[in-house]
Structure 1
Amino acid sequence: MAESATYIYGVVPQDIEVDTEARGVGDPPGAIQSIRHGKIAALVSDVSAGRPLGTPKDLYAHEQLLNATAAEVPVLPIRFGAVVASREAVVEEFLAPYHDEFVAALNELEGRAQFVIKGRFDEETILAEILTENPEADQLREEINALPEDASRDHRIRLGEIINQAIEDKRDADTAAMWDQVEPVSVMLAARPPSHEFDAVHLAALVENSRQDELERAVESLGQKWGDQVSLSLYGPMAPYDFIVSQDQDAE
């Protein structure tokens, strides 16, 4: 087994300049380099062939490198953990076979970046709203409070079902409202699955760099209407994870 292998982060235009201070995955972290082929280049670093990857530190380094790159130039992010045997293999197995597809995708992403809109319901506020709106839920809560814990099991299960469905309905409505709000300033939108039971919104938006301020104002405007009920965050610019179709890169 070779002492080192080559880790691939993403694909960029061939004429970019790599920050000599940039570091990636591994312990110690490897220096970022570019391997050019035709009109494209792969961002890579050397890693120990015997060291397993997958620590939170590795994942953070992978994402940070790609997001920092996306803030400057178009980048096609490669899924975490893509490793090939050598720098030659980067060209032969990765860049050369997909060169034209990568060029076309980079052209589509020129001047654009991804942002993620994340909203979370205030738990106390949303639960109070559900109990107010749903007489059955309010009655179940009163009965649960009056019964011993063992005797209220069925009531608690039913109340949980009502609350979960109500949150899902409100999430769908708020996601639709945010979609309509930011669609005019976005190139593309993608709904992400909720990452928390009280998520209200989880959207990815591909946006022209020149319209970032418009996106921020659109999100802020709807957030003001929602008030304290939903806590909103906007993340980006970041690599366009949600808007590329990856080739089958089973780099081992």
Structure 2
Amino acid sequence: MRFPARAGRRADMDQSATYIYGVVPQDIEVDAEATGVGDPPAPITSIRHGKIAALVSDVSPGRPLGTPKDLYAHEQLLNATAAEVPVLPIRFGAVLASREAVVEEFLAPYHDEFAAALTELEGRSQFVIKGRFVEETVLGEILAENPEAAQLREEISTLPEDAARDHRIRLGEIINQSIEAKRDADTAAMWDQVEPVTVMQTVRPPSHELDAVHMAVLVENTRQDDLDRAVEDLARKWADQVTLSLFGPMAPYDFIVSQEQDGE
């Protein structure tokens, strides 16, 4: 799903500003208690145009954005929205000068693209699968599978710290290479496991040196239980080797590609 690259750019402002969170179908009803960025958090409203609407809040042009609290509020609002309706998430920090500018510069020029993308997302949700190697187990496997690593570890235990420096560097290289290979294998196994019950999958970069799996999937809402079972089945198989977690539903960042990112 392509997303106009200009949508997330910040506009220059003098006196007032409108912060944009995402795009939703025009018939959405905004929770009266929903709040977003700001201190105190600003109420969320919608700006409608044709078949679509933008989720927005007022912000002070002079107030810097980007605090952990702001980032959390942005993410939580979009994830809560994604659990109820299709949403096209905007990257953090998109601000236009006024509510009128949101229509004129954002919703109107891209109305058809936004509407088509929302149609594609109808009835679908993003989930993220994360797996973390059990450190003691994976290191034990590497030592058992690699005689050089086992020998280096034994020699390190008998050498003075300075004399063992090269041994430690080499052992670290072996461990890193082995973990990368195991990560590739486990990611491929997870891909095959969830592919039959998902619409799309994408592999994310590892967020930790012990990551075994880090991927996002787009799934039909009617098949969320199937996804749960697929992940649980592999979690049982990997019980002593990898700790698996399934997060979602959440805003489908991983399946929205800007025209700029797509090379157009």
TM bucket by the smaller chain?
A: over 0.9
CA distance in 2, matches of 1:193, 1:166: 17
The SS at the match of 2:206 is: coil
Shift of 1:78: 0.4
Separation in structure 1 between the aligned mates of residue 233 and residue 49 of structure 2, nearest angstrom: 45
Taking the TM superposition and a 5 Å limit, the aligned residue runs for 1:119-130 are: 119-130=131-142
The one of 27, 30, 40 equivalent to 2:42 is: 30
User: How far apart in 2 are the matches of 1:228 and 1:136?
Assistant: 24
Q: How does 1:51-200 map to 2 (within 5 A)?
A: 51-200=63-212
**Aligned partner of residue 118 in structure 2, secondary structure:** helix
Query: How far apart, in 2, do the equivalents of 1:6 and 1:76 lie?
Result: 17
Letter in 2 for 1:174: D
Aligned equivalents of 1:151 and 1:71: distance in 2? 57
Per-residue CA deviation, residues 164-215 of structure 1 (Å, 9 max, x unaligned), is: 0000000000000000000000000000000000000001000000100000
Which whole-Å deviations, capped at 9, do the CAs of 1:202-251 have from their partners, x for residues lacking one?
01000000100000000000110111210010000011110012366xxx
Instruction: Render the CA deviation track for 1:28-71: whole Å, top value 9, x for unaligned.
Output: 11100000011100000001111111111111100100000001
Structure 2 portions without partners, runs of 5+: 1-12
2: CA distance between counterparts of 1:58 and 1:151? Answer: 50
How much is the aligned-residue C-alpha RMSD, in angstroms? 0.9
SS at match of 1:18: coil
Shift of 1:93: 1.1
Give, in whole Å, the separation in 2 of the partners of 1:241 and 1:168: 25
CA contact (8 A) 1:78 1:246 kept: no
Q: 2:219 aligns with which of 207, 212, 237?
A: 207
Decide whether the 8 Å contact of 1:25 with 1:62 is kept in 2. yes
Distance 1:247 1:26 in 2: 30
The one-letter code sitting in structure 2 at the alignment partner of 1:140 is: L
Give 1:2 deviation, angstroms: 3.4
Offset of residue 92 of structure 1: 1.1
Structure 1 stretches of at least 4 aligned residues deviating more than 2 Å after TM superposition = 1-4
TM-score normalised by structure 1 residue count:
0.97
3-state SS of the aligned residue for 1:17? Answer: coil
1:216-235 correspondence to structure 2 within 5 Å: 216-235=228-247
Structure 1: any 5+ residue segments left out of the alignment? none
Work out the CA distance in 1 between the residues paired with 2:175 and 2:82: 40
Match of 1:43 in 2: 55
Q: Percent identity?
A: 84
Q: Which amino acid aligns with 2:96?
A: V
What TM-score, normalized by structure 2, do the two folds share?
0.92
Contact 1:186–1:206 (8 Å) recurs in 2: yes
User: How many corresponding residue pairs?
Assistant: 248
Q: Displacement, 1:134? A: 0.3
Query: What amino acid sits opposite 1:95 in the alignment?
Result: L
SS state at 1:151 partner: coil
